[in-house]
Structure 1
Amino acid sequence: MQTQVQRLLDLEAIRNLVHIYCRAADRHDHKLMRELYHEDALDDHGSFFKGLAMDFIDKLPEIQAPMEILHHNTSTHNIELDGDKAEGEVYVIAFHRVALEKRSIDLIVGGRYLDKYEKREGVWKFSHRAGLADWTHIQDPSSVDFSHPLVSGALVGQAGLDDPSYSFFQGFTAGKRSNV
């Protein structure tokens, strides 16, 4: 019974890791992103970056600078556990509104993350993450319109500490992984 309970706890910790990654990416919270990878972890984001994850995180301010909106959504998550190591395939749809010189464009990527996780000192983190694109859609120029009456007066998400979630919630602190 203990083994089954531990398996469920490990699976939930890995799912939580993936969800926190989405928040860290979308809020441009690089300090939080560092908490999600082991120091020797690898990251493969295609043409953006391939190498040590900590070096990738160092480049994130430059990579994310033109991204006015990032919105990662994960769905199917297949996980294979093997003791303190695991592998996972995570389906993702990621929306990017990217500022160009005179206009913004929308880029939607449907793909998967191919992950390797390790539990060290009782904490699951990424040991290797690779992004894979299954499809893309580009809208040029951007079709994002916050002036429409249906969203008038709504809170609008944004990168960084000015995102409304930081003032709304008490348990979400920038740069800090909670409930681990």
Structure 2
Amino acid sequence: MTQNSIDARLQDLLDREEIRQLITTYCNAADRHDNEKMRSCYHEDAIDDHGAMFCGPAMAFIDHLPEIQKDMEILHHNVTTINLAIEGDYAEGEVYLLAMHRVRTPEGSIDVLVGGRYFDKYARRNGVWKFTHRAIVADWANVHSPAFTTLDHPFLAGAKIGKPGPQDPSYDFFRLLTRVS
């Protein structure tokens, strides 16, 4: 194996890891309602397509997030399969996800578990990978009304309970993971 071949394989590995980190940073930002962290995931001219919820400039989507998330008591994004194709400073990804939403409605809280995928386009600009286009694709959903999740069961007594925003216990626990880079 030549040094050029090794260098190319190492660069591919580094690019894949940076893109995976971008994907998981997005999930953390969504779940914690951390819109500044979310903003750091997109290039300024990026597009976000969340279907009827929002489709347009990603920065406008992020500006609209407080309204979108105001009734979301729980958001929990989990990525599973990540398929990436990289060509220089451009990459595409099909990212499978499970996203749990607990949402307040006038009739009471509902739980919505969505199985879907993100169709992503990424660009490396100034040495940093970010989204240029992100579209959500729903493959299935499981809706429970009324909600079946509970956080007040005795089994959870004394446990730290996740919350949106900086009230989440992670902000007090971690020193490194909550920073926007």
Scaled to the shorter chain, the TM-score interval is over 0.9
Deviation at 1:151, TM superposition (A): 1.1
Task: Please name the residue that 2:3 is paired with.
Answer: none
Cα deviation 1:14-58 (Å, max 9, x = unaligned) = 000000000000000000111000000001000110000000000
What corresponds to 2:164 in structure 1?
A: 159
1:50-84 residue CA offsets vs partner (Å, 9 max, x unmatched): 00000000000000001000000000000000100
Which residue of structure 1 lines up, in the alignment, with residue 59 of structure 2?
54
Q: Aligned residue pairs: how many?
A: 176
Whether 1:100 aligns to 2:101 is no
The equivalent position to 1:139 in structure 2, one of 140, 144, 165, is 144
- Pick 1 or 2: higher relative contact order, CA cutoff 8 A, min separation 6: 1
Letter in 2 for 1:5: L
Over the matched positions of the two proteins, sequence identity in percent amounts to 55
5+ unaligned residues in a row in structure 1: which ranges?
Answer: none
C-alpha distance in structure 1 between counterparts of 2:114 and 2:107, whole Å: 23
Give per-residue Cα distances to partners, 1:122-171, cap 9 Å, x unaligned: 00000000000000000100111112121111100000101000100111
Structure 2 residue matching 1:161: 3-state secondary structure: helix
Amino acid across the alignment from 1:62: E
CA distance in 1, matches of 2:137, 2:47: 15
After superposition, the CA RMSD in angstroms is 0.8
Residue equivalent to 1:116: 121
Give the Cα–Cα distance (whole angstroms) in 2 for the partners of residues 118 and 96 of structure 1: 29
Paired residues for 1:1-180 under 5 Å: 1-173=6-178, 176-177=180-181
TM-score by length of 1: 0.96
Which has a greater percent of helix?
2
Q: Which structure's CA Rg is the greater one? A: 2
1:172 CA drift (Å):
2.5
Q: Which runs of 4+ in 1 moved over 6 A?
A: none
Q: For structure 2, which runs of at least 5 residues remain unmatched after alignment?
A: 1-5
Which letter does structure 1 place at the counterpart of 2:153?
H
